[in-house]
Amino acid sequence: MIEIEFRKVGKSFVDRQTAQARAAVTNVNLSIKSGEVVSIIGPSGCGKSTLLNMGAGLYLPTEGEVFVGGERVTKPVRKVAFMLQKDLLMPWRNIRANVTLGLEIDGMREAERRRIADELLAKCHLKGFEEHYPYQLSGGMRQRAALARTLAVDPQVLLLDEPFSALDAQTKMVLQQDLAKMLYEKKKTALFITHDLVEAIALSDRLLVMSERPGTIVEEIVVDLPFRDNPLERRKLPEIGPLQGRLMELLKVGKETAELH
């Protein structure tokens, strides 16, 4: 089953200074099957985040159509959950209350909300911190809480916009491991944006490489490697190097100074 699909999608924004429309992305075609993790890679400003915003229904495409679960996206989609670079936890709510926010909005009973939150916080290595507030946690712990909040609403599709980019390398790898295991166990579908090429290879079934703005997909690479549920092991495979090299070649096409992280 196709969980999320972009059909000939383009998005333009009006420049406030010139009043001219400028294309952010153009002619984007992609589909992601149930349980698949796909990463989008491209130079800064090529429209990666714009695609995620359209997948969530926060933007509507200027051209083409976006579908989630076979239904055309015309407004914000409840089947989709978004995780960003910043944890965006509410400082006045403790960690459990932050994780249960979406369930509370949905009207779920308190006992069930608590059960789901505590189960996810344990899986995210935050058992014992349920009553703590965001200011009492490290950056990595807060991002774990944000992951638990994202999964708590049991989304059909996860949209992940560089969720680990602000973390140190060691913490990032630990959270990659947590995310990969939970996506694999729960058979979740995810569209992931990152500038970290090895992270993309370690977490994904497929890689989509975008051109410079206006962004379009210029190449698809299937990551036919084991250990998608265990990125620490996948990182050790000898095939990682050639895949990373190919991505670097693609990102440098037409712009030798393309920013690579």
Instruction: Read off the tokens for 212.
Output: 């410079």
Give residue 78's pLDDT band: very low, low, confident or very high (50, 70, 90): confident
- The whole-angstrom separation of Cα 145 and Cα 149 is 6
In tens, the pLDDT along 135-187 reads 999 988 999 999 999 999 999 999 999 988 878 888 889 889 989 998 998 89
pLDDT over threshold 80, residue 257: no
CA distances from 108 to 68, 101, 186, 201, 231 (A): 24, 10, 21, 37, 34
The answer to whether 251 and 209 have CB atoms below 8 angstroms apart is yes
Q: Walk across the sheet containing 71-72 and list its strands.
A: 21-33, 2-14, 63-68, 71-72
For residues 145 and 126, the answer to whether their CB atoms sit within 8 Å is yes
Give the DSSP letter of residue 215. B
Dig out the tokens for 127 from the structure: 């058992």
pLDDT in tens, 175-195: 899 899 989 988 999 999 999
Distance CA 175, CA 179 (A): 6
Domains and CATH numbers, the chain: 2-79+157-252 (3.40.50.300), 89-154 (no CATH)
How confident is the model at residue 200, as a pLDDT? Answer: 96
pLDDT the model gives residue 86: 86
Q: Report pLDDT digits (tens) over 51-67.
A: 999 999 999 999 999 99
> Is the per-residue pLDDT at 261 higher than 50?
no
AA letter at 209: V
Q: What would the pLDDT profile of 110-126 be if each residue is shown by its tens digit?
A: 999 999 999 999 988 89
**What is the structure's pLDDT at 63?**
96
| Range 72-89 average pLDDT | 91
Q: Give the CA dihedral 211, 222, 188, 80, nearest 10 degrees.
A: 20
Instruction: Say yes or no to pLDDT of 70 above 60.
Output: yes
Q: What percent of the chain has pLDDT over 90?
A: 76
Q: Return the exposure string of 85-119: e unless at least 16 CB atoms fall within 10 Å of the residue's CB, then b.
A: bebebeeeebbbbbbbbbbeeeebeeeebbebbbe
Pair 70, 147: CB distance under 8 Å = no
Q: Which of 132, 210, 130, 200 is nearest to 172 (CA)?
A: 200
Give yes or no for residue 39 having a pLDDT over 80: yes
Give the rounded distance of the alpha carbon of 69 from its chain centre: 17
